[in-house]
Chain A
Amino acid sequence: MSTETENTGEALDSSQSQLRRLIGADAIKSMPFWLLPAFLVGLFIYGAVLWNFVISLTDLQGFGTPSFSQLDFDMYGRAFSDPQFLFAGQNTIVLLVVFTIVCLVLGLGLAILLDQDIRRRGHLRTIYLLPFSLAFIVTGQVWLWMYNYNYGVVNTFTRSLGLGQYQIIGNSQIILGAIITALAWQFVGYTMVVYLAGLRTIPDDQFEAARVAGVKDYRIYWKVIIPQLKASAASAGVILMVFALKTFDFLFAMFGQYRPQKGADILATMMVREAFQKLEWAYGASIAVILFLMALGIISPYIYYQYKVNEI
């Protein structure tokens, strides 16, 4: 009640100067709005990330409690001399790059198609976006069946086309490609939606003017429209890359266990396996720190740029 009368008294002042005078008090008065969320995020996200770093410096494993007497970077040395880590790291980067490029290119194509004058555009958008609303644990099962050696759809087609049968899941040469295909199926719709939002901000008359001037459609897209979608591509790209770093559910669902088939291991799955299956907490935590740094390398330029242009 006292705050109410206080505000009423000062409300007659110009709002700017009032805000300046109250700036300290407002931080306290506004606490009911933000303190609990900030506490939860601070504890469970930032606190956990920091604590994870500390654990990565110990030798914690099994069911014990960590000893903090000797903190060192041994686990990172172990990671970089572990062939499985190097292999998984390489796979992570291949997945990240190929998956992101495939989604950005196909998503752009879909967005341009749907941006044309077609009926039932909304329904089509819903269909393309449908895979994105499904759990990875679900789509992993579906694609496992698609890739089945004897009865799966992919092998039924390759057989009937005379291309032979492929052990897709068991073949370390093609398994990563199969995973990228399945993940792209799920994320292309998302990328398309981000582009469509970008396309909507481009005024129609730019297109019309170029068309009147006799410029071919594909050149209009190439020269006028696509360059204006850079911001959409950047924001979708960051999300896609960070997703590629952390994807775990899909691989777990596909293989039904912590260890993906040969050739499909990535850092995200290796981290969970080391920590939660082998109970190598400190080693898992160190891989998690490396993943975190990779994500930071992707997002910090983006956030910095957004902050500078006042988009945040």
Chain B
Amino acid sequence: MTATASPTGAPAATQATPGDDAVGTDEAVGRARRRAADRVLLDTVRQGRWWTGALAVANVVVAIGNLLTPAALATALDTVLGSARGASEGPLLVLGGVLAAGIGATVLLELTQPYSAAASTVWLRSKLVDRVLALGVVGLRRFDTGDLVTRLGGNTATASAAGAVVLASALSLATSAGAVVALFLLDPLLGAVFLVGVPVGLALITVFVRQSSELYGRYQQLQGDVAGRFVDAMAGIRTIRSAGTVSREVDRVLVPLPELSRAGRSTWQMQGAVTWRLLLLAPLVEIGVLALAGWLVTTGRLTPGDLVAATGYTTMGLVFFDQGSILIALSRSRAAARRVAEVLSDPPAAPRSGSAVLPAVGDGTGGELVLAGVTVCSGGLTLLDGLDLRVPPGCAVALVGPSGSGKSTLAAVAGRLIEPDAGSVRLDGVELSTLDADELRRAVGYAFERPTLLGTTVLDALGYGIPAPVPEDLVAAAVAAHADGFVRRLPAGYDTRLADAPFSGGEAQRLGLARAVARRSRLLIMDDATSSLDTVTEVQVARAIEHALDGRSRLVVAHRAGTAARVDLVVWLDGGRVRRVAPHAELWSDPAYRAIFAAERVDTVASSTEEVSS
């Protein structure tokens, strides 16, 4: 994760956020962001097209149906009660019609809501995936991987629900308002009694929202504690297995359980307390209205049917209290849209590609990489500072330096995973940013310290991104990277699905290396791509790669002295600048150079050889 999260070595936390340097405009920035979020929301809702339109129509019909029902019921009731002999069917037919229309509209509502949400989600997700892929590594500087997955998965779905939520809110408000108006129309006193209860209800809702977030926070914290212990035990499973202590581990994971149970009970008790208050309020308002209506029946101002209607409108008026949950849903949608909008519209800008092509060279021939005055800044830090570098055609060049010296940043700039803030990067004389995107990826291959293997099967993963991969070439690349042996030992060999073959770090590294070798690019960039291999394997792999890549150019980030010793030229980086360029043997006499390897990971060939020779 760390390898993907900060491939340039820049900690994500130090990223500058807009507004840092202009304190006075914080509010304006916030407003602009909210506007951007609402724009995304609006665009998303529009994608529902006529499904959203039909949903709106359904909502209007449902609201009208709801509001007409008590009145129609009252008229029907008065008719059937008043004309015990010789009834008129008219009001009954009206009631039946109103109910039927309500059902039809509700069916339409239930159908159009998911249709419109699905259309919105598909659109928003595709837009966001394109953006994430266009941002590439640059995006990962600003957003954590897990965070991006949430934005793409959960947040898009929540944002897409906004249309339905807004309409539901409007429906609920219109119904409530209409019901209050209806109560006033029945008798102004009824409306007045109803309105007295409303402020109390609003106060209760506020209390609920505030209390619940605290209690749920405590509960979720304890849940996280259990999950953390669980993950710890899973990570140490080989120790637990060999020590035979699994039942003790189960107990350890469950230690916070009593506390969790207590916190859980508090949340239920809180819910009970809130329900109790709401249950007291709602019916007492209803009883108040009902008592008043009954008295009005006695005085002849209302009919018995009106009494039923008054009850119905009171219940309907109280639908207003659902507004609390609807408002929460709406604010959730807006928050989600804001998180989506941050990815879509906030800086950094996605790198653009040109249409230039590279001068043709024969297969197996290396390219010439020239960096001139390359500067890369991130979060106020200068990672590369006006750096010049040349990788001659067909040469292997190692980047060596203490951590933070800019090795990985340089590796990322050299193949345009990130763009320099200043300076130029040219491959065979062509500026990378003017290159056609496909041409660039054909020309430059990457192997990483922790590669992510993508695709369906092992073979597919090796040819991932190659337009028409030749299986024999892929296997040859696997042989070169010393991956062929363990792949053939898998249950289905090269056809084993990636999901069925969890690879160790060293195995994944060799597959990533094979994937890069298979591309036959004129420049291969290896960013610490053999670090998980033991010293025995690293030597074997390095030899095979040299043979397989004979004649092509290589840029290698080296942490081990042995790696640096095997290349043509070492570029010694320090503080984002080139300190010296020379063969390893020449640099080795410098104690400062040797100190780099002593401070690096301990399993270096240098430290082993020192022991052997001493």
User: Do A and B interact?
Assistant: no
